[in-house]
Amino acid sequence: MREKNRPIGIFDSGIGGLTVVKEIIRELPNEDIVYFGDTARLPYGNKSARTVTRFSLENVKFLLKFNVKSIVVACNTSSSLSLPALRKKFKVPILGVVSPAVKKAVELSPGGRIGVIATAATVGSACYQREIKKSAGRYKSFAQACPLFVPLVEEGWTNDDVTLEVARRYLGPLVKQNIDTLILGCTHYPLLEKLIRKAVGERIQFVDSAKETALELKRVLAENGLKSLSRSARYKFFVSDEPERFRKAARRFLGKIPCLNKGKFSSTISP
Ligand code: DGL
């Protein structure tokens, strides 16, 4: 198969990475996608760097079986904790979600005060904070772990008073720090965008790491002459636990994009 027409591999700890898939389909509708969600071992957001890196290495190995031309680490936690180890081990180009989000935030931030919300492991890794410092030394970053957001989104409580109260508690300290830009640094947070907007008001601009990663992937493929020439795309979804729950929740995460009908869902043993 011509290199350009090989699929893109995407992995996440579970279902949340579909927010990244959705943006990639929007930006690159001709690309075949193989998705792996590690539903048997999620969440990654409360695990150690060693464990997340071990899982991530296995996930990449699984995706390489499909002859992918590049890999997107949709999971913010894996991107924050494991990207250097993945790049060291594998030759295939691997893109994470942190750098594209930071690039955009630095570009947008008028006063250099950037907030980051993410899982506890992502915040603990200080990866976002380091990248912001590297890209704009004078900018200040303020990170807040929001561990309750992932289960609330998976429960479907994305427009609920309880979740709004939780958001106010998590985001209050960042608003007090007078941030002007907020990075949504977790796969699940795009589904909470409206509610977070309610909690923080209109003044703060949001950066969605899923959207920025899709745009970065589009740039990288174009620059390397790797954009697919095919007219239609095929999608394959694999999960490490039984696929039924994933299939049901997928609709919410993928929104109206009709790719679900084309997508083939399979379950696979832990890679
Ligand atoms: N996918 C994870 C992330 O973006 C959130 C879910 C989890 O903790 O596994 O950080």
Q: How far is the CA of 70 from the centre of ligand 1 (A)?
A: 21
- Residue 262 inside a domain? The answer is no
CB of 208 closer than 8 Å to CB of 118: no
Are residues 234 and 102 part of one domain?
no
148 located within any domain: yes
Protein residue closest via CA to atom 2 of ligand 1: 75
> Is there an atom of ligand 1 within 6 Å of 125 CB?
no
Ligand 1 lined by 80 (C-beta under 6 Å)? no
Ramachandran region of residue 68, left (φ > 0), alpha (ψ -120 to 50) or beta?
A: beta
Q: List, in order, residues 6 or more apart from 248 with CB less than 8 Å away.
A: none
The string of pLDDT tens digits covering residues 150-193 is 999 999 999 999 999 999 999 999 999 999 999 999 999 999 99
- Pair (63, 28) in one structural domain: yes
Q: Tell me if 142 sits within 8 A of 179, measured CB to CB.
A: yes
**Closest listed residue to residue 183, CA positions, set 157, 154, 146:** 146
Q: What is the pLDDT of residues 14-53, one digit of tens each?
A: 999 999 999 999 999 999 999 999 999 999 999 999 999 9
Tens of pLDDT, residues 116-158:
999 999 999 999 999 999 999 999 999 999 999 999 999 999 9
The pair of three-digit structure tokens given for residue 252, joined into one six-digit string:
């919410």
| Residue 83 in domain | yes
Q: What's the number of domains the chain is made of? A: 2
Which pLDDT value is given to residue 271? 47
H/E stretch holding 140? strand 140-145
* 158 shares a domain with 90: no
Range of the domain at 105: 98-209
Q: For the segment 71-113, what is each residue's pLDDT rounded down to a tens digit?
A: 999 999 999 999 999 999 999 999 999 999 999 999 999 999 9
Please list the residues that pair with 9 across neighbouring strands: 34, 71
Predicted confidence band at 270 (pLDDT cuts at 50, 70, 90)? low
Half-sphere exposure of 249 (CA within 13 A, CB side): 23
Q: Is 168 within the bounds of a domain?
A: yes
Query: What is the CA(33)–ligand 1 centre distance, in A?
Result: 20
Give residue 265's pLDDT band: very low, low, confident or very high (50, 70, 90): low
For residue 251 the two structure tokens come to 């609709």
Q: What is the pTM of this model?
A: 0.95
Both 220 and 248 in one domain: the answer is: yes
Q: What is the CATH number of the domain that holds 21?
A: 3.40.50.1860
Q: Is the CB of 28 under 6 A from ligand 1?
A: no
